[in-house]
Amino acid sequence: MPKVLITGTSSGFGLVTTVELAKRGWDVVATMRDVEKRKKLERELEAAGVSAKVRIGQLDVTDPVSIDRAVADLDLPQNPLDAVIHNAGVAVGGVFEDLDEAHIRRVMEVNYFGVLALTKRLLPAFRAQKRGRIVIMSSEAAFAGLPANSPYTASKWAIEGWAEAFAYEVEHFNIDIILIEPGAYLTDIWQNSPRVLPKTSAYYPLIRHLEPTVEAHVEKFGRDPNEVAKAVANVLESPRPRFRNAVGPTAKFMHLTRGKLPSTVIRKIFGRVFSLNKVRW
């Protein structure tokens, strides 16, 4: 039975991916920063009849002690680990000038440095067994900047650049690096993310317009996150997985146009999508 460690499984892609892999027979170690939030996952596992295939544990990817404890619990190398799915992620809504440094650093700590820290702890085991798959939940935001979302976008650009370079270093050990890049999906990340929308902001007309506009866009075009869970499971089970995997129509479009359209054109496209011409400054 193949074994996988997943981060950020209390909701969203992490939760549905845990259920999907358990249904496919994987031995899943489902981790989350706050294990008090495990109830939703437990209900979904019980409904699918796969509770016995999943062990839930605590893991905060920004805490070295938590990482060490979670990796120790895996009992490596006696119990080999086939893959890790870096799904834990956070965001913050707001224009750059209005954001506190703490907000920006939190996004980078979780979405970028957290991936690096956990990967480094698992690498000795993957190298020793000469196999392993490191799956990173990226985003279509890695293809183009999005308004009032610069820290999240930057974190995804950073993790993809790191992954491209890192892949050279581990291919000799038969370790695959895999990026999953979803488009608009109905998850909890934006509802659970802080939003910085001060009425005194010089950008208030923009952010006042964007908040309902983006929500309406996601509600209209957001897709079932189970599609992403299936995509993750498929690349894990593929004999030769692709490095970059766009999931959903908008992500696939952005993937195809990446590097082919000038940034000014991309901004005009998103300007129309989010009706930025209607902002009254």
pLDDT in tens, 66-77: 999 999 999 999
CA atoms within 13 A on the CB side of 227: 16
| pLDDT recorded at residue 263 | 87
pTM summary value? 0.95
169-188 residues labelled b (16+ CB within 10 A) or e (exposed): ebeeeebbbbbbbbbbbebe
| β-bridge mates for residue 4, sequence order | 28, 83
Q: Which domains does the chain have, with CATH numbers?
A: 3-202+224-258 (3.40.50.720)
Q: Which of 7-16, 151-160, 213-222 has the lowest mean pLDDT?
A: 213-222
**DSSP annotation of 247:** E
Residue 166's pLDDT band, with cuts at 50, 70 and 90, is: very high
Q: How far apart are CA 183 and CA 250, in angstroms?
A: 6
Q: Cβ distance 149 to 93 under 8 Å? A: yes
Q: Is residue 189 predicted with pLDDT exceeding 80?
A: no
Give the mean model confidence (pLDDT) for residues 246-268: 88
Residue 187's pLDDT band, with cuts at 50, 70 and 90, is: confident
Q: Is residue 259 predicted with pLDDT exceeding 90?
A: no
Rounded to an integer, what is the distance from CA 154 to the centroid of its chain? 13
Residue 39's pLDDT band, with cuts at 50, 70 and 90, is: very high
Residue 255's pLDDT band, with cuts at 50, 70 and 90, is: confident
As a whole number, the mean pLDDT across the chain is 94
Q: How far apart are CA 267 and CA 253, in angstroms?
A: 15
Q: Which residues are catalytically annotated?
A: 152
Q: Is residue 119 predicted with pLDDT exceeding 80?
A: yes
Q: How far apart are CA 261 and CA 263, in angstroms?
A: 6
Residues in Cβ contact with 20 at an 8 Å cutoff, skipping those fewer than 6 apart: 226, 229, 230, 232, 233
| pLDDT recorded at residue 238 | 97
Q: Is residue 192 predicted with pLDDT exceeding 80?
A: no
| pLDDT recorded at residue 116 | 98
Give the mean model confidence (pLDDT) for residues 224-228: 97
Q: Is residue 186 predicted with pLDDT exceeding 80?
A: yes
Q: Is residue 206 predicted with pLDDT exceeding 90?
A: yes
Please give the sequence-ordered ranges of beta strands (E in DSSP) within the chain, or none if there are none. Answer: 3-6, 27-32, 54-58, 83-86, 132-137, 175-182, 244-247
Q: Which of 82-91, 174-183, 206-215 has the lowest mean pLDDT?
A: 206-215
Residue 181's pLDDT band, with cuts at 50, 70 and 90, is: very high
Q: How far apart are CA 110 and CA 117, in angstroms?
A: 10
Give the mean model confidence (pLDDT) for residues 248-258: 87
The percentage of residues in the chain with a pLDDT greater than 70, rounded to a whole number, is 100
| pLDDT recorded at residue 149 | 93
Q: Is residue 146 predicted with pLDDT exceeding 90?
A: no
